[in-house]
Structure 1
């Protein structure tokens, strides 16, 4: 693109008269001023499009902006009446020549649009467009959109001066977008910070279990406005991964930051996924996500430590109560029983029979207290606090040392609606399914999903093994089927795509 003085000289030369030249320069100046004067981005871009159309004598002009995840974020146009635009319906989606301007990051000038092999045609009710000039709107080295004009007055093609003028206006649009991105980045950092504070408060107050990785993933997905998020604890076989959104989209852009704890050790990773059409991740994106990951990880560690302290304190208190019951209450009852036995006399007399019955009652009470002492002596565990934590522990312990990669997903109010009794059934089904995957399937990967959907608990276990061998004993699967039927649910097992086995166990979380 020529320098500013050369561009002005050429604009004045084409104008034909000093008055027309001054009018054109005034238009260019107004477009430049709107970048700093107009706080509304859409209004500023609309003015740039209108100036561009007038400066090069185009009948139609438009500017499209894509968001970081690749979707059309803004689309402003000039020259096409609103009623005609309404009849066309859908806005351009960035395919064909328009998409090429963005993906190639270079200007495209065509005498006839429909002669280009990249052209994909027009929708119904779209006016004919022949001559085409498209210029990328750059923020740094990345194309965030395109400014394009069609149908020059008199049917003439666009020339290099037109391209220089539109390139200058596209630079102005890029400046407006860059300012907008800086503002959006500040807002995004604030969203990440507020989300991190909310998660930390819930973790430290005990309102959220430190094993509730799905909450971390869903929060990161919401504030990042990405296609998908994956949170992984551990590494290699035995690692636990929880996903939110669309993480399997191909092709894709990925950004992974470590989950760093208070002692600077890495506990896992946080991965954010954008579609291939989305913008590349910036260093600012990485720093913001890394701060969120570190803050959340430290809060999880503190929450887990506090729970451990509470459980230890509870275990100590239970031990003290058990000792007091054994050393004082039982001994006193035992002494009372011996004293009564010594005065029972003839148990066939009314008084003797009553005394003997009281001795038996004391013996029964002593047995009940001994049972209570035994229950008090069993230390509390994380299983009694959260079904999510229980399943996390079960999957990790079952697959530890087996050389399998795994993924564990929770969806819906699992801890809230699944009571202890049904939780025992869910744990038993998962244990049997994982055992089959380890012993028979020759699998390298197994995925476990526990979801509460409506009135049902839906449990799915999928592996990538050899499928269901014909010779395998079916007693375990029949037990799972029987459990489902007894609870008013269903059970199915079949082939997974592209290979392996999928088990699906569905029961109501609340009896009718």
Structure 2
């Protein structure tokens, strides 16, 4: 049975699932609570990817220095691989006696008593939660197993919610694309068709009836202006929805979390709430971050990308850094990248900001944008 302290721990972990936290923060809260509640020295939580590794792997009970010394993330083999195939818990006095136990890196702590619980949604195994080295003698108990099963169930809720959120965003993007396509067809394509016909008519009249040709060309000018106006109005409606309600920091955090889930590279956001900027400046910062992330993930082949948003000295600063292959900023860039870099510079200039792009082959890329908060 749980005492009051344990119940508070369980309550905190459960409430984290419905709080406005990132999925990673929710899973970390559940993991930390599990280690404390079950009295374990070490705990970990893994969410597999489709390539034989882990899309998410969190550990609790080891320092950052120890974690770095252990080395790369584990793969889906041995006991970890077995837990991803079976919905049943694993509870042992010594994990090294498991028939699928293989080895661990030299810097890895020695694990003995062990309890592992698959994170299950229906018939699908979403991940695994496991703890090792019970602090009190006697190993993990049946009560520990039941409590861990409860926490794993809430981890499953967090992961399912994340999937639903991602799918809803994808559907919103598809719906927005369809809306733009309809508006382009209805408002612009027809004008462009009329413009082409009028231009053809003007071409046939140039020599035999210059006045009529001039009138047709005036119609061409008017239709072109109308089409340009329609395009501007459509583009103006593409202001990121998240900015209007959430603010810049929340919108960038959501963007980073979405990209982190759909790309192999780790994409992380750090920052704090910043003062509200003008609509033009907020959109410029957001679009610059999007472009920098796109360039890093498409061209840089990084293992990690960080997005940082800070404020101070009357400025808001955006920093997007990656550890990818970088490029020579003095050399001609790929057409797509060159266009993106030009777009970022134009956005910065238009809002009175300053943009600095630093990169070198093999040294990653850094994009820093500073915009004033006032004026």
What is the TM-score when the length of structure 2 is the normalising length? 0.47
Larger radius of gyration between Structure 1 and Structure 2: 1
TM-score (norm 1): 0.35
